[in-house]
Chain A
Amino acid sequence: AQTVTQSQPEMSVQEAETVTLSCTYDTSESNYYLFWYKQPPSRQMILVIRQEAYKQQNATENRFSVNFQKAAKSFSLKISDSQLGDTAMYFCAFMKPWTNAGKSTFGDGTTLTVKP
């Protein structure tokens, strides 16, 4: 079974600064996907960024980038130029591709507060 660990329950950052959220996972699989999802106070969970394990290049999406260390089973999220709208709970997720419906395992989440 896969496990996902987010060791930072809460973090805060000043607006316009950079923050890094950590995530580690444990798996014996070689082919998998990793995601960061964001859940703002409005509750809707939305995808932030996705990483395929077979790709060595770190994924980036505008101000969001990841540091994927496959050997260390680490998948951190860096948010640059933080904005007030980035305030949310962030979940790291591991997905094992499974025929037509992938099964995702989530971490406990990190609550990020961006301060003005």
Chain B
Amino acid sequence: DTGVSQNPRHKITKRGQNVTFRCDPISEHNRLYWYRQTLGQGPEFLTYFQNEAQLEKSRLLSDRFSAERPKGSFSTLEIQRTEQGDSAMYLCASSLTSGRHEQYFGPGTRLTVT
């Protein structure tokens, strides 16, 4: 068990560019969550997958954001036409379907939009 991994760890981009982040969950975990954390705030829920199905999206997830989880394994989060307000830490977490309800978090991807 190597834990949840996220790549890249840091991303600096210019406003208007597209960015894509990747999350590799713990191998047997079929639930995957994306959260966003800004300075001085706790993480906020963005979206949730069970296997390959995206089952819920937050209102925070504007139409510039899209997430996928092909084959129920890794997930990608893409932000199109980035804005300065998108600067944040993007966190991925995974968990089992039932039982312990523990979400295991990755180290996050810090996005800076200049």
User: Is the A/B pair a real complex?
Assistant: no
